[in-house]
Amino acid sequence: MMAKKKDKSADTAKKEAAPKEKKLTKKELEEIKKESRKNIRRRIRRTTH
């Protein structure tokens, strides 16, 4: 169950970032991806407690 929730959160993050990617540079994209991953981990930690 938990694994499926993680996959869904990752997919939604990718979908949200997709339209913005065209306007941003590669460096900015990498930073956003790193931030989104950290945010997903934080959300998982909050939900588990």
pLDDT in tens, 1-17: 455 555 566 666 566 55
Closest CA to 6 of 47, 49, 29: 47
Burial 12-37 (b: 16+ CB within 10 A, else e): ebeeeeeeeeeeeeeeeeeebeeebe
List pLDDT tens digits, range 21-33. 566 678 887 887 8
* Cα 5 to Cα 23: distance, rounded to the nearest angstrom: 29
pTM given for the model: 0.33
Q: Average of pLDDT values for 35-43?
A: 81
Helix%, strand%, coil% for the chain, nearest 5: 90, 0, 10
Q: What percentage of the chain exceeds 90 in pLDDT? A: 0
